[in-house]
Amino acid sequence: MRIAAFFISSILCLGAGYYVYDESLASVDSEPKQKKDEAVSVETVASQRCDLDERVELVGSLEAVNQVQIRSRIIGYLDRIPFEIGDSVEAEDIVVELNELTYLERVSKANQAHKVALAQQGAATARRDQIQLEVARLKELAADGVGTAQQQEDALSRLAVAQAEIGLEEARVSEASAEFDDARKALDELKIRSPISGVVAERTVEVGDLAKTEEVLMRIVNLKRIRTVVHVVERDYEKVRKGQEATIEVDSVPGRTFTGNVVARAPVVDPETRTARVIIDIENEEEVLKPGMHARVAIVASHRDDAQVIPISALQERNGRQFIFVSEADKVARRRYVTTGIRDGELVEVLSGIESDAMVITLGSRLVQDGSTIATTQADWDPVNSLAISESRPTAISAEAAD
């Protein structure tokens, strides 16, 4: 008997608990309940018309468009580095000089070898010419019946050898000339020039260090033009196009806005991040912007003239439908389902659903429901600056006081 009573009481407790749980869920899903005869204090603004831009806001880091890493094509000790970090450099300025003693010796040896090769070529040519004269004389003697065929054959054989020697000496001259040219070029490369104008952003060597071909000696950056690489999310991908204007702000230059242009957009979206790279170039004639700075970017994706706008704080959504509350003349809140257009910061365009002079509830809109009694305070609203400024904000009052 006791066991049966225990089970019955357990079932009753479970049922009561489920009822309380179900009621709590219903209360969460339902709109806020308004106490009878109590007006909800709200703030309203009048919907207005203004020009509206839809902006895609992004963040990125600034990079240099033109920068070079200075390396040496040859190995040698550094004799002179005339520029320090931060110094300005013009194109074709000599930025690094290597010790030339070893290469001067190489040029001298190559020059001497070239002269020797030319002399040997001249000697081979002289021998060939002498043998040619001998062949011609033997032919004359043979015509007079004096010379022998064997003598002519020997002379012709020596002439062929002389011609081959000339070919060999010509190859040696060519080789010596190439070595001499390489030595002179190496001597010229001891003076390394900057290919661009800019500033020295990095210098990794000092005078006396050994320059190696694989090492970076210096980095020069042109600051006249800067770029930022940002990543646009998939839903905004089609809003960003090449040629669009962008505004850029950086923390280190407060209160100032810079202008750039979209120069490239990645043709694919990264499947892992669902973003695409966008490159924006920025003119930086004053060199205020520096590579590595954090940048906030806004791209104007579309523009609407004379759009009807309301504060985005007034907009609500439930079950996939967007709505707002408006204040009627009888101090009653009414729900209005709306269709919205583009957004810009704190503003949203309303395409349909409200009249042009509707009084939209902003502050307190989530405390009312359709038909709620309200006590309103109208705020002065500047849609251009997205500001709502009220003279006063009343506390909740009773229906009798409201009357």
Do the domain assignments include residue 2? no
Residues 324, 270 share a domain: no
Same-domain pairing of 114 and 181 = yes
Range of the structural domain that residue 240 is part of: 55-66+223-304
Residue 127 resides in a domain = yes
Bridge partners (DSSP) of residue 325 are: 335
In this prediction, residues 150-159 reach a mean pLDDT of: 81
pLDDT average, residue stretch 7-27: 51
Comparing 397 with 51, the larger pLDDT belongs to 51
- DSSP annotation of 312 reads G
Q: Is the pLDDT of residue 381 over 60?
A: yes
Asked whether residue 203 is assigned to any structural domain, the reply reads: no
Instruction: Please state the pTM of the whole predicted model.
Output: 0.58
How far apart, in whole angstroms, are the C-alpha atoms of residue 248 and residue 296? 6
Boundary-marking domain end, from 304, 319, 340: 304
**pLDDT tens-digit readout, 236-262:** 999 999 999 999 999 989 989 999 999
Give the DSSP letter of residue 32. P
Residue 87 in domain: no
Residue 44's domain is classified under what CATH number?
Answer: 2.40.420.20
Cα 197 versus chain centre, distance: 21
Write down the mean pLDDT value for the chain: 83
Tell me the C-alpha distance between 133 and 146, whole Å. 17
| 362 and 325 share one domain | yes
Same domain, 235 and 299: yes
Helix (H) or strand (E) holding 128: helix 101-143
Is the residue at 94 inside a domain?
A: no
Which residue is it, tokens 């907009």? Answer: 315
CATH number of the domain to which 298 belongs: 2.40.30.170
pLDDT at 136: 82
Say if 82 falls within a structural domain. Answer: no
Three-class DSSP labels, 57-100: EEEEEEEEEEEEEECCCCCEEEEECCCCCCCEECCCCEEEEECC
Q: Is 90 exceeded by the pLDDT of residue 53?
A: no
pLDDT of residue 384: 75
Task: Please state, for a pLDDT cut of 90, what percent of the chain lies above it.
Answer: 45
pLDDT number for residue 223: 93
Return the percentage of the chain with pLDDT > 70, whole number. 85
Which DSSP letter does residue 310 get? E
Looking only at the bridges linking them, the beta strands covering 359-361 and 333-337 are unpaired
User: Is 283 contained in some domain?
Assistant: yes
Same domain for 48 and 60? no
Same domain, 293 and 315: no
Residue at a domain's end among 252, 278, 304: 304
Q: Where residue 113 sits, what CATH number does that domain have? A: 1.10.287.620
CB 212 within 8 A of CB 146: no
With a cut of 70, say whether residue 184 has pLDDT above it.
Answer: yes
- The residue-averaged pLDDT of 274-294 equals 93
Number of independent structural domains in the chain: 3
Enumerate long-range contacts of 108-114, CB under 8 Å, 24 or more apart.
109/183, 110/176, 110/179, 110/180, 110/182, 110/183, 111/180, 111/183, 113/176, 113/179, 113/180, 114/173, 114/176, 114/177, 114/179, 114/180
**With contact defined as beta carbons under 8 Å apart, do 383 and 50 qualify?**
yes
**Where does a domain end: 304, 319, 342?**
304
Return all residues near 279 (Cβ < 8 A) that are at least 6 apart: 227, 228, 229, 262, 263, 264, 265
On the 0-12 / 13-18 / 19+ scale of CB atoms within 10 A, 9 is: exposed
pLDDT higher than 50, residue 50: yes
Average pLDDT over residues 362-384: 88
Q: Which amino acid is at 385?
A: N
Overall average pLDDT of the 111-118 stretch: 84
pLDDT tens readout for residues 308-346: 999 999 999 999 899 999 998 878 999 999 999 888 878
Q: Are residues 244 and 317 in the same domain?
A: no
Query: pLDDT by residue (tens digit) across 188-239?
Result: 778 899 999 999 999 999 999 999 988 999 999 999 999 999 999 998 999 9
Neighbours of 318 (CB within 10 A): 10
Same domain, residue pair 300 and 317: no
* pLDDT(385) > 50: yes
Q: What is the pLDDT of residue 345?
A: 77
Confidence band of 281 (pLDDT split at 50, 70, 90): very high
Residue 387 has pLDDT above 70, yes or no: no
Does some domain include residue 129?
yes
Same domain, 265 and 339: no
